[in-house]
Structures are given as C-alpha cells and as structure tokens.
Structure 1
C-alpha cells in the first residue's frame, strides 16, 4: 500500500524553570495515499486539449483571414479584424457554459455560436480557395475551426452536470427570486437618487417662500433711510434690543411720530430696520393702549 507523508501540528505543554506554556509540536507522519483519480486526470487532459485546439484555431483563423483582408487594408487593421471571427463563437461558447443550468437562455448562445462558426469557416475557405485556387485547401483550412469547436463542446459535456426536470424548475425559481433581488439594487439606488433630488428641490422652494414672506428686516434692506437723522435722539444700547423692544421703549418715552420712532429704533438696534416693521409694532401698541 502506498503512503504519503504529512506534517501534523498540535499544542503540547512545555515547562522551563517551572513555567509551563502551550507550544506547537510538529511531527511528520505517514498516511495511506488515496488511489489516483484517473477520471479526473482524463477530464483535465480533455480540458487542456480543448484549450489547445481553440488556441490553434484562433491563431490559424486570424492568420488566414488577416492575410485575406490585408489585400484591401493595412496589415495591423486586417489581423485585428480577423480576431473577431473565431473570438465570436468562442465567446458564445463561454456564455453557453455560464448558462448551462438555464437551457432556454443557453440555447440562444448556442445558435449564435453556430452562426459565428459558419461565418468564420466561410472566410477561411475563401482565403484558401483564392490563394491556392483549389477548394480542397480552403475546405481543409475551414475544418480547423469546426474541430476546435467540437473539442470544446466535448469538454463542456465532460464538465456538465445535467439536472432532472423538477430540480431544473427548483433552480429556475430560486434564481428568479435572487435575480429579482439583484435587479432591485440599482432600481433602489435610482429611486433614492430621484427622491433626494425631489427633497432638495422642495427644501429649496420652501426656503425661497419663507424668505419671501418673512419680515422685511430679515433681508437687511431698509425701505427708506433718512440722510439727516435728528442729533437729539438718544441711542438705546445699539445691538442689545430687538425691534419690538426698541419700538416699545420709544413708545414709553412718549415718541409717537413714526419717522421719529424709526430713527430711535435704528439707533437702538444698530440695524437698518424698515418702516413697515416699526409701523406694525406701533399699530399693535395703539390697539393695546
């Protein structure tokens, strides 16, 4: 029986000068070696062979079609365009593999891959026929892509895990539920961005309405500022009283003329209070008095 060596570690107590600590102890042991998995070996070999075939086909098709197209354009552009012929059906096979558990969607990729393969084979055949003036060379060159696609199809069948009808339905239902949740992620982001814009617009409009309907003194623009205020009006602590307090102080001082009250209030508050605010407070004092 074949064996193989493995390293095993475990914690063991170790004492030095009466102090004990748990340390790692390493030892190499031999365990029975499992038999070689020849199925996996063959599966890996088939996969590697399919990759080699696809690489050879891509190289051959690019060289053939690039040489054909270089007759009408520069070589760099011709060979770059030639890559698209085999790359198209290779990409379709990759999509088919990703959708292997969704037969309906995989069928679309399978059909597209066949059409792309036919176009690629036709272009390679045209190159061989025009260069060698014989259809045999063109046909042999075109078969390279077909062999590569066939090899990759066989590799996909080796790795495939077919599902029974009931399990397939179960998978489709679970995938639909998860796909719905994933689809809602960008939708929610879009809705949140839109709602944020609506909220910002609403706040902006509300702020504009409030500023338009607020007391005119909030704007800082006086209705009328006299150029020559009376020098005998005393200042009532500038900046320390509100407009309403300043109007009441002037009223209590016996000042009844609106313009005189306005000058007194402006001196008391230190702000360019508009006449309308003073008149409003005076009207309230007259009603109360």
Structure 2
C-alpha cells in the first residue's frame, strides 16, 4: 500500500510574557493513498466522447438543414434542431432523482431528435436520394441513442418508499420557498401601504396648516389689540407658524401709566409729559391719543 505525507495544522497554547494565546502549528501525518475511481473516470471519458460526437451531429444537422432552408440565416435556424434536444438533456439530468419528473424531458428530447432527423432526411432526399438521406438522418439519431445509454447508466432508481421520502423532503423545501416568497411579497405590500399612509398624513397636515393660518392671524391681531387696551398684564400670543402659545416680553404699558396719572389728578398735558419722561422712546402723538382715551373712560365711569 502506498502512503502520502500530508501537512496539517492544529491550535496549540503558547505563552509569551505571561500571556497565553492559541497559535496554529503545522504537523505531518501519513495517509494511505486512495486508489483512483476508475468507474468515475470511465463515465467521464464516455460522456466526453459522446459530447464530441454530438457536436459533430450538430454541425452536420446545421449544414444539412441550412441547405434545405436556403443558406444564410438558414444555418442559424438549422442549429436549433439538434441544440434543442441537447439542452433538454440538462433537464433530464437535474431530474435524475425523480422518475416522474425525469420522464417528461426524456420524451421531449426524443421528439426533438426525431424532428431533426426528419429535416435531415428531407434535405438528403432532395440532394442525393434515400441512401444519403438515411445516413445523414442517422447521425442525430445515433447521438441521441448514445446520450440515452449514458443517462440510463447514471439514472438513480429508488424504491417506492425511498421515492416517497424524497418527495416529502422536496415538498418541505418547496413549502419553505413558497412561504418565503409570500412573506417577501407581503412585506413589500406592507411597506408600500405604510408609505402611502405617511404620504397621505403629510398632505393632510399641509392642508390643515393652510386652513388654520388665517384663523391664527386673526387671533393674534385680537390679542395684540387686547394687550394695547388691557390692564398691563403680559398676554400670551399664538405663533402663526404652529399655533403654540409663547410668552412675549412686554415694555411699559402706556395705558396703565396714563390711568395712574389721570387718577392722581394730573391734567392731560401733565399726564403726557409724565409718560414721555418715563417712556422716552414713545411717540408723543400715540401717548396723547392714549391719555385722551383713558380720560374718556374715566369720565364715562363717573370719575372726577
């Protein structure tokens, strides 16, 4: 028995300066040399040979059917005939564990191969007689028979119980794929619905803001007027942008000062001068109007 030396790696503890870490350490082992799988090599060789013969059949059918179709683009169309049944072989190989599913691509492959052979036979009859037609059509048939023999060798035949187990496992896997696909579609629909709701709410908020803007402006004007005519206490106002009540800083209340001066017995002129002395930034015309209005209020209230 022959042996081979293999280099492998393992983790070992190594302590450096009081710190222990695991490091990879190489080591060698002797392993018996396994014999080559000659069955697999033979199958690969046969498959390669059959593939080469199939390529020859495709070239021959492409030329023959292309001639039948008038050449030019007809050659491209002629390639379809043999290439079609060759492509179906892949489906037959993928279904090697499921006899029921494997049967359909096998039948389709035979039908396509016979169509290609029939087209070649027709071109041979027109070109040189039935001998040439029969031999030319046999090229595609032989290639298909060779592939049928290869697939018969690699077919995975299962007992009825094992076939049921395979079908059950495939059903579970397909169910998981279906559930995942449905959940993904549902998630996409949910995201789209939420985005639509958010867009609708934003538009409603914008419309609501436009509806409340004039009212907010009117309330603010009324509050400013009450402030000018009020008792001097600071009044909250509404912010026009978001209707949030905010406290504003108030200066000296001219109406309150005028009322104080007048009730103390000062004349209108003296009251104006006293207010201007206390509030130098006030306009004289505005102060005179305020004093006059407060004097009228006191007169109407019976105060002398």
Q: Which residue of 2 aligns with 1:176?
A: 171
The total of aligned residue pairs comes to 230
Deviation digits for residues 2-46 of structure 1 (CA, Å, limit 9, x no counterpart): x355443568x9xxxxxxx9864679x6x6544454323322222
Q: 2:75 aligns with which of 75, 79, 102?
A: 79
Separation of aligned partners in 1, 2:5 and 2:85:
46
User: SS state of the match for residue 8, structure 1?
Assistant: strand
Q: CA deviation at 1:107?
A: 1.9
22 and 125 in structure 1: CA distance in 2 versus 1, 3 angstrom threshold: closer
210 and 52 in structure 1: CA distance in 2 versus 1, 3 angstrom threshold: same
208 and 5 in structure 1: CA distance in 2 versus 1, 3 angstrom threshold: closer
Checking the alignment, whether the CA contact within 8 Å between 1:50 and 1:148 is kept in structure 2 is yes
Q: Which residue of 2 aligns with 1:40?
A: 40
Q: CA deviation at 1:50?
A: 1.9
Checking the alignment, whether the CA contact within 8 Å between 2:120 and 2:136 is kept in structure 1 is yes
Checking the alignment, whether the CA contact within 8 Å between 2:216 and 2:240 is kept in structure 1 is no
State yes or no: 1:68 paired with 2:64: no
Q: 1:145 aligns with which of 140, 145, 160?
A: 140
Q: 1:95 aligns with which of 73, 87, 91?
A: 91
- Give matches, 1:120-135, under 5 Å: 120-132=116-128, 134-135=129-130
Q: 1:251 aligns with which of 220, 226, 232?
A: 226
107 and 4 in structure 1: CA distance in 2 versus 1, 3 angstrom threshold: same
Separation of aligned partners in 1, 2:178 and 2:65:
41
Bigger drift between 197-206 and 116-125 goes to: 197-206
32 and 172 in structure 1: CA distance in 2 versus 1, 3 angstrom threshold: closer
Q: CA deviation at 1:214?
A: 4.5
Q: Which residue of 1 aligns with 2:49?
A: 49
Separation of aligned partners in 1, 2:157 and 2:223:
92
With the length of structure 2 as denominator, give the TM-score of the two structures: 0.63
Q: 2:158 aligns with which of 160, 163, 171?
A: 163
Separation of aligned partners in 1, 2:99 and 2:24:
57
Q: Which runs of 4+ in 1 moved over 6 A?
A: 219-223
249 and 115 in structure 1: CA distance in 2 versus 1, 3 angstrom threshold: same
Q: Which residue of 1 aligns with 2:182?
A: 187
Q: Which residue of 1 aligns with 2:200?
A: 205
**5+ residue gaps in structure 1?**
14-20, 224-242, 257-263, 275-289
Larger Rg: 2
Q: CA deviation at 1:81?
A: 0.8
Checking the alignment, whether the CA contact within 8 Å between 1:65 and 1:127 is kept in structure 2 is yes
22 and 150 in structure 1: CA distance in 2 versus 1, 3 angstrom threshold: closer
With the length of structure 1 as denominator, give the TM-score of the two structures: 0.66
**5+ residue gaps in structure 2?**
13-22, 244-304
Q: CA deviation at 1:222?
A: 6.2
